[in-house]
């Protein structure tokens, strides 16, 4: 009995020694940095209103930025993948800008065009 118990403990401690995060955070599909739980938003790649069901996780700040830049029609037609979003010059600029901010950074939305919808 005791022997089995020691074995288990050893197994547990070597498991903890692995480079492994117990509470791994989701990674933002836009800026590819970890997202604190309090700032995690699900974004519909194709807007829900256009029948989209696939979501990715984004920082609240990144999510706001996407909706500040694009209408739902634009998202549905041209930006329904993280790759397409990140290829847009304004988004690329935002990603560069946010890169050296803390992962829990939640700036006021920077709008380059007025859209009035999130
Ligand atoms: Zn992000
Ligand atoms: Zn969204």
Cα(17) to centroid(ligand 2), Å: 38
Contact 49/72 with Cβ under 8 angstroms? yes
CA distance 49 to 97: 30
pLDDT of amino acid 3: 58
Cα(20) to centroid(ligand 1), Å: 22
Closest CA to 62 of 113, 112, 99, 23: 99
Angle (deg, nearest 10), helices 89-98 and 60-69: 160
Ligand nearest to the CA of 118: 2
Ligand nearest to the CA of 94: 1
> Could you read off the pLDDT of 75-106 as tens digits, one per residue?
999 999 999 999 999 999 999 999 999 999 98
CA distance 72 to 108: 21
Q: What is the pTM of this model?
A: 0.72
Residue 105 sits at φ, ψ, to 5 deg, of -70, 130
Residue corresponding to tokens 């380059």: 112
Cα(38) to centroid(ligand 1), Å: 13
Cα(42) to centroid(ligand 1), Å: 11
């Amino acid at each position: 009995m005791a022997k089995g118990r020691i074995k288990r403990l050893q197994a547990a401690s070597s498991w903890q020694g692995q480079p492994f995060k117990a509470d791994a955070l989701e990674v933002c599909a836009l800026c590819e940095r970890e997202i604190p739980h309090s700032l995690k938003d699900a974004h519909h790649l194709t807007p829900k209103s256009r029948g989209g069901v696939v979501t990715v996780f984004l920082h609240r700040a990144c999510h706001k930025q996407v909706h500040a830049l694009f209408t739902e029609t634009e998202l549905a037609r041209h930006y329904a993948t993280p790759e397409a979003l990140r290829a847009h010059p304004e988004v690329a600029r935002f990603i560069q800008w946010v890169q050296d901010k803390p992962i829990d950074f939640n700036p006021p939305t920077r709008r380059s065009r007025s859209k009035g919808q999130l």
